[in-house]
Structure 1
């Protein structure tokens, strides 16, 4: 699978952190020896940015990296600096939060996405539903069009010729009971959710109100299996997002996803429910 700039930055970050730790250097000591700021080195090791080639070479010299590893990381750094096809989708001059750019890159490289959502996930939104939602959120027309293009492009994960990402989604019943746009917008969106369940790489289930309030508490999240890179959890609300790492934290999200999955309707029951709901509008 082609790796995006975000995934490449994570790989570079992992290698740099491992090299420094094997050398027994603190972040401050390594930064001083390589003549970079401590904050810059921290960003490199967190995957928030990639170093320039000359900075990477300085770090490699400090760490005593092998010639083969130096060459590999230089290649990765060059690739990470290139603008991919997603960059143009945002549009020139359109302000797009960095978390969204990062998430799109990670999403595209995931082996498995486990989604729990109180709303219709973007990956399953029809263009009309997505546009109505974006307008309601108060975005300016240019941003609405840019994000709509991005939403449609992201949906290649579902139907593209190289759709290798598995998607397991649990969607709260409130998502299909909440009126968005006119009747036809919601009607078509609900039927699109049912159609998504017929895709070979998708399993979508509805968490009914009858499951009770406890299971639906806490808000939505996405678990990203990024094998061979470490997994992540992603949370977003009100244009504020957080990526969560660490096995102890991720295990909590896995347990919660297992709980809502167990309480959700099965795929066939979900489709029956969605068709009935669409007919009732």
Structure 2
């Protein structure tokens, strides 16, 4: 299991439950949540809600052991973002737009670490926790049936040497490898286009079976997750407008390959 705050919380809930001789169904009945959700939390496949943790604390006689672990989760999964981790984990399709960085789901560990380290005052431990949480999110791409993932990035993302030449070289190599997967596409919007509506910020769109479509908008402080039909529709229109300017897939691949050469440490 990945060593994240979510994993440590899930492991402690499982340990306390098993010490009482309870099954996941037994705990679920006592806290009035589904057994499936208990399983998701124990396996760190779902960011837990505070209400669930508090009910587990009482039912398991945890004596205050769970709340500090939950507080650690908040550092790697901000409250506003937690609904998105559930949506993302269950999505059958995801559409991403990113004007500044390689999207988190596609980042290598070294690239992600370089991004996290830019936060003022962040500790090495906090960086490690964020990196573990990011790696955990990326596991949705390795499922037997991963979501359809359609990514559009600005060409400027490829020119920004996050982490230095070697890190960027490996990052673009990873991007090209992901693009060989049949359920992942990456397109590049050329810099020569100039201004687009996408310069206002990155976002993600998700489709989940049986649920309303949802959107996630990130900001430097607090982002937004919404399933309001009018807001999601507006973001979809923006995505379509941005993607209309993007290079076709084969051209986007060539652009990425050419940029990778510029980062070759032997070049």
Structure 2: unaligned runs, 5 residues or longer: 1-27, 49-67
The corresponding residue for 2:220 is 238
How many angstroms does 1:142 deviate by?
A: 1.7
RMSD: 2.6
What do the CA deviations read for 1:182-238 (whole angstroms, capped 9, x no partner)?
A: 210111112221221111110111111122203433211101111211111101121
The 5 A counterparts of 1:144-223 are: 144-158=127-141, 160-223=142-205
Cα contact 1:129–1:181 (8 A) shared by 2: yes
Q: 1:183 to 1:89 in 2, by over 3 A?
A: farther
2:86 to 102, 105, 114: 105
The corresponding residue for 2:43 is 85
The 5 A counterparts of 1:69-148 are: 76=34, 78-80=35-37, 83-86=41-44, 92=69, 94=72, 95-96=75-76, 97-118=78-99, 119-138=101-120, 139-148=122-131
* Distance (Å, rounded) in 2 between the aligned partners of 1:131 and 1:262: 32
Q: 1:197 to 1:211 in 2, by over 3 A?
A: same
Mean CA deviation greater in 185-194 or 110-119: 185-194
* Distance (Å, rounded) in 2 between the aligned partners of 1:132 and 1:221: 21
Given the alignment of the two structures, is residue 268 of structure 1 paired with residue 226 of structure 2, yes or no? no
Cα contact 1:114–1:168 (8 A) shared by 2: yes
Question: TM-score, normalized by length of structure 2?
Answer: 0.71
Cα contact 1:244–1:250 (8 A) shared by 2: yes
Cα contact 2:201–2:218 (8 A) shared by 1: no
Local SS of the residue matching 2:201 = coil
Query: How many residues end up aligned between the 2 structures?
Result: 210
* Distance (Å, rounded) in 1 between the aligned partners of 2:203 and 2:239: 9
The corresponding residue for 2:58 is none
How many angstroms does 1:87 deviate by?
A: 6.7
Q: 1:182 to 1:75 in 2, by over 3 A?
A: closer
Question: TM-score, normalized by length of structure 1?
Answer: 0.68
Which structure has the bigger radius of gyration? Answer: 1
How many angstroms does 1:88 deviate by?
A: 9.7
Structure 1: unaligned runs, 5 residues or longer: 1-51, 56-73
How many angstroms does 1:241 deviate by?
A: 1.4
